[in-house]
A and B are shown apart, each in its own frame.
Chain A
Amino acid sequence: MQSDIIKQARIEIQRKSALNAEKKKRKDKIVRLFFFFITCICSLIIVIVAGFIIIKGLTPFFKIYTENGHTGSMSFSYFFTGLQFNHGYDQETGTFMYGVGFLVVNTLYINLISYIISIPTSILTSLFIARIAPKPLKKIISTGVDLLASIPSVIFGMFGLGVIVPLVRSIGRAMGLAGTSGISLLAGAIILALMSMPTMISVMVTSLNAIDESQIKASLALGASKTQTNFKIALKNAKSGIFAGIILGIGRALGEATAVTMVTGSPIYGITANPFDPTVTLTTQMLLAIGEATPNSLNYDARFSAGLVLLVIIILINFLLNNIKDIVCSIDRKPSKAIIFLKQLFTNFRNPCYDLKKLK
C-alpha cells in the first residue's frame, strides 16, 4: 500500500516536473521570439530611414508641383550638372531646376582638404601617444583626446567662429587676398579636421598599442633606431587599425552639418575654387533657409534628394576605402609585378650605390 502511494506520488512528481519543463520550454520559446522580434524592429530602422530617403528623394522627379505660378516636376539633368540649388523654372522643358552637382564638388573638395590636414596629424599624433610619450603624459593626452571626441559639434562650430575664422582671415590678408572675411572653405576644412581627428586617434592608438612586442624588440635588436622601428615596423603592423580609424573619421566628417554651416557662409552659386571663399556643401544646403521650406513643397523635398545624394556618396566612399584597406593590409598577398617594378625603379632612383649593395 505504502509503496503504491509512493509510486503514485513519484509519478505525480515526474508528471509535474515534465509539465514544468514543458512550460519552461514554452516560456523560453516565447521569450526568445520576443527578443528576436525586437531585434528585427531595431534592424528595420535602417530600412525605414533608407526607404524614406529614397522615396522622398526620388519623388520630386516624378511628382508635379505648383509653385509661384509654375507647374512641373524637378529637372533630372540640371540636378546633376546644376550650379545653383534653386535656379527657378525652365520654361522650355517645364521643370523646376534644382541643382546639387556643385554641392557634390564642394563637399568633396572641403573633405579632401580636411583629410590632408587630419590624416598625417592623426597618424603622427597616435604614434607619439602610443610609442614616444612617457607613461603619465600618455594617460593625460589619451583622456584629453577622448574628451575632444565627445564634444558636441555646435561647440566646435562656435570655436570655429571665434578662433578659426579670425585666424583664416589674418592668414588670407597676409597672403594678399584682401577681400577675405575668414568665413571660408578653409575654415570649414580645419573644423572638420579637428572633429574627425579624435575619432581617428583613439582607434589608431588602440591598434598601435596592440601590436606584437616581439617584432619591435627584434627590430631594435637588429640595430634599427627607435624612429626607424616606429615608422617601419609599428606603423606597418598597425596598418589595418590605422585604416579603420581613417574610415571612421572620414565617415564623421562627411556627415557633419552644424559646425560647418556656422563657418562656411552661404553663397548661392557655383563651385568654390579658392579655399578662402565662402562655400556651400550638401549638408549646409540642407540646413539653410529652413524657414523657407514648408513640408510637401518642392524646396523641402529637394533637400531629401540632396540627402539621398549624400548617402550614396558616403556608401560609395566607405565601399572604396574598405576595398583599399583590404588590398593594402593583406600581408599574404604577393605584391603584383607592377608594384615590384615600381619599387625597383624608385630604389634605383634614390640610391645610386644600389649596385654596390646588391654585390653585398
Chain B
Amino acid sequence: MKKTLRFVPLFACLTLLASCGGESTNTSNTGASSSQDTTVDFDTTQEITPLTRDTNSGTREAFFGHIDLEDAASDDSLLTTSASVVASNGDMISNLATDEYAIGYFSFDSITSATDEGVKVVSFEGVTPSEDTIVSGEYSLTRHFNYIVRNDFGGDSVKETIVDAFVAYMGTAEGLNIIQTNGGVVDPETINNAPTWAEISANYPGISDDHSDVTINFGGSTSVEEIARQLSASFSTLAGNFIAHHDHTGSGAAYSGTQGDDAGTLDIGFLSREFNDSEVPAENTSGVICTDAVIIGVNEANPLTNITADQCHNIYALDGTIDTWDDILG
C-alpha cells in the first residue's frame, strides 16, 4: 500500500501533463494557429514551396494553362521537384494557412473560407479578383464550370426527364441564385432576367411525381462539388425527392463517367475546365454553368501582394528560375 501511495502523486502529475497536452491543441487547431506565428519574421531567404493539386484536377489544368505550363497539367515530371501535392481546395487552403513559405492556387468559390483561415489573396497581373473583375473579364485567370450529361440512358425515360429538368433548373433564377451563393460567379443581370422554375417546369411533365426510388449519380470536379450538392438538394425537393448520389473525384471523371470509358457510372458530370481534345461530348449534352476564377494564395505573413504569369511559370516549372522568396520580393 505504501508503494502504491508513492506512485499516486507521480501518476497525478503525469495525468495533468498529458491532459494539458491534449487540451492545448484545442485552441491551436481552429485555424488560428497561424496567428500565433505572425510575430515570426518572414525570412525571405527561405525556399518557396509550391503547392499543386493532383493531375486529375481541373483547377490545376486551368491554372497551368494560363501560365504557359499546359503540358505539366497531366505530367508531374515537368514540375519543379520541391512541389507538393494536395488533394482538394480545402487541403490547399489549410496548407497555405499553416506554412508561411508556401504558395498555391484554389478556386474562387472557396475564397471566403480561405480568407477566414488566414490565407492572403494575391492579385494577378495587377488585378484583384472579385466578382466585378471576373465578370468584366479584367481578371484573366478565369475558367468556366461546365457540365456534361449522359447521352444514353438505356431507355430509362424517367431518369432522362429528371436530368434534362436539372439542366434547365441550372439556368433558372433559382438555380443561378444557388450557384452564386456557393461561390460561382454569375452576372446579377442574368439572374434578374432568367426564367423561374415555375415558368419552365411545365416543359417536364411528371417532374414532381414521387421519385424517391430513383438515384441520380453526380460526379466530376471537386471544385464544383459544393455547388452541385446544393443544387441537387434543392432540386430534389422540387422533383419528387430523388436520391442524389455524389462522388466527386476530379474533372477527368466527368467525361469518362458520362460518355467515355466508364459511361453509365455518372448521370451528370461537372468539370472545372474546358473539354480537352479527347473529350468530345455529343450534341446538346454539355454546356456552361457559370464562370469561376483561380485565385493564387499565400500565407498571411507573406508580404507578397501581386504576381505575374511569368513569375508563376518560373516558380512551378522544372527549369524555372525562381526558388526562394528573395527572387520574387527582391
- Interface residues of A, Cβ cutoff 8 Å to B: 68, 84-88, 97, 133-134, 136-137, 162-163, 166-167, 169, 173, 178-179, 181-183, 265-270, 278, 288-289, 291-292, 294
- CB pair B249–A269 under 8 Å, yes or no, is no
Q: A68-B74, A87-B77, A134-B4 are known contacts. Are A182 and B98 too (CB-CB below 8 A)?
A: yes
- CB pair A88–B76 under 8 Å, yes or no, is yes
CB distance from A39 to the nearest CB of B (A): 40
Contact of A289 among B28, B56, B100 (CB under 8 A): B56
A350 to B56, CA, bound (A): 63
- Which of A97, A136, A291, A294 has most chain B Cβ within 10 Å? A291
Per-residue interface assignment for chain B, residues 29 to 46, with 1 indicating a CB less than 8 Å from any chain A CB and 0 otherwise: 100010001001001001
Contacts of A265 in B (CB 8 A): 84
Contacts of A167 in B (CB 8 A): 21
> Is B262 located at the chain interface by the 8 A CB criterion?
yes
- CB pair A166–B49 under 8 Å, yes or no, is no
Contacts of A266 in B (CB 8 A): 84-87
| Known A134-B4, A268-B81; 17 more pairs at CB < 8 Å | A84-B76, A87-B76, A88-B75, A97-B77, A133-B7, A162-B25, A163-B21, A173-B40, A178-B40, A178-B100, A178-B101, A181-B98, A181-B99, A266-B86, A267-B83, A289-B87, A292-B56
Contacts of B252 in A (CB 8 A): 292
Contact of B84 among A86, A88, A163, A267 (CB under 8 A): A267
Contacts of B79 in A (CB 8 A): 268
Contacts of A270 in B (CB 8 A): 81
How many of B's residues come within 8 Å of A, CB to CB?
45
Contacts of B85 in A (CB 8 A): 266-268, 288-289
CB distance from A324 to the nearest CB of B (A): 34
Contacts of B55 in A (CB 8 A): 289, 292
- CB pair A289–B54 under 8 Å, yes or no, is yes
A291 to B265, CA, bound (A): 14
Within 8 A of A (CB), among B27-73: 28-29, 33, 37, 40, 43, 46-47, 49, 54-56
- CB pair B4–A179 under 8 Å, yes or no, is no
Interface of A is mostly: loop
Contacts of B49 in A (CB 8 A): 179
CB distance from B248 to the nearest CB of A (A): 9
Shortest 5 CB-CB contacts between residues of A and residues of B: A291-B249, A88-B77, A269-B81, A181-B99, A134-B3
Q: Which residue of A lies closest to B97 (CB)?
A: A181
CB distance from A297 to the nearest CB of B (A): 10
Contacts of B37 in A (CB 8 A): 173
Q: Which residue of A lies closest to B2 (CB)?
A: A134
- Interface residues of B, Cβ cutoff 8 Å to A: 3-4, 7, 11, 21-22, 25, 28-29, 33, 37, 40, 43, 46-47, 49, 54-56, 74-79, 81-87, 95, 98-102, 249-250, 252-253, 256, 261-262
Contacts of B4 in A (CB 8 A): 134, 136-137
How many A-B Cβ pairs are below 8 Å?
A: 92
CB distance from B95 to the nearest CB of A (A): 7
CB distance from A41 to the nearest CB of B (A): 34
Q: A162-B25, A181-B98, A268-B76 are known contacts. Are A292 and B54 too (CB-CB below 8 A)?
A: yes
CB distance from A293 to the nearest CB of B (A): 10
A265 to B49, CA, bound (A): 13
Contacts of A134 in B (CB 8 A): 3-4, 7
A181 to B4, CA, bound (A): 42
Q: Which residue of B lies closest to A179 (CB)?
A: B101
- CB pair A269–B82 under 8 Å, yes or no, is yes
Contacts of B253 in A (CB 8 A): 291
Q: Which residue of A lies closest to B80 (CB)?
A: A269
CB distance from A159 to the nearest CB of B (A): 9
CB distance from A336 to the nearest CB of B (A): 44
Contacts of A87 in B (CB 8 A): 76-77
- CB pair A166–B43 under 8 Å, yes or no, is no
Contacts of B3 in A (CB 8 A): 134
29 contacts between A and B (CB under 8 A): A84-B81, A87-B77, A88-B77, A88-B78, A133-B7, A136-B4, A137-B4, A137-B7, A137-B11, A166-B25, A166-B33, A167-B21, A169-B98, A178-B43, A178-B101, A179-B99, A179-B101, A182-B98, A266-B84, A266-B87, A268-B76, A268-B79, A268-B81, A268-B85, A270-B81, A289-B55, A289-B85, A291-B54, A291-B250
Q: A137-B4, A268-B83 are known contacts. Are A178 and B46 too (CB-CB below 8 A)?
A: yes
CB distance from B268 to the nearest CB of A (A): 18
Contacts of B82 in A (CB 8 A): 267, 269
CB distance from B14 to the nearest CB of A (A): 11
A163 to B78, CA, bound (A): 36
Contacts of B47 in A (CB 8 A): 179
A178 to B45, CA, bound (A): 11
Q: Which residue of B lies closest to A83 (CB)?
A: B81
Contacts of A85 in B (CB 8 A): 76
Contacts of B33 in A (CB 8 A): 166
Q: Which residue of A lies closest to B28 (CB)?
A: A166
- CB pair A179–B250 under 8 Å, yes or no, is no
A163 to B19, CA, bound (A): 11
A134 to B10, CA, bound (A): 13
Q: Which residue of A lies closest to B47 (CB)?
A: A179
Q: Which residue of A lies closest to B22 (CB)?
A: A163
A267 to B256, CA, bound (A): 28
A167 to B99, CA, bound (A): 15
Q: Which residue of B lies closest to A85 (CB)?
A: B76
- CB pair B75–A268 under 8 Å, yes or no, is no
A29 to B22, CA, bound (A): 61
CB distance from B33 to the nearest CB of A (A): 7
A88 to B75, CA, bound (A): 6
- CB pair A269–B83 under 8 Å, yes or no, is yes
- CB pair B46–A179 under 8 Å, yes or no, is yes
- Which of A97, A173, A269, A294 has most chain B Cβ within 10 Å? A269
Q: Which residue of A lies closest to B250 (CB)?
A: A291
Q: Which residue of B lies closest to A266 (CB)?
A: B85
Contacts of A291 in B (CB 8 A): 54, 56, 249-250, 253
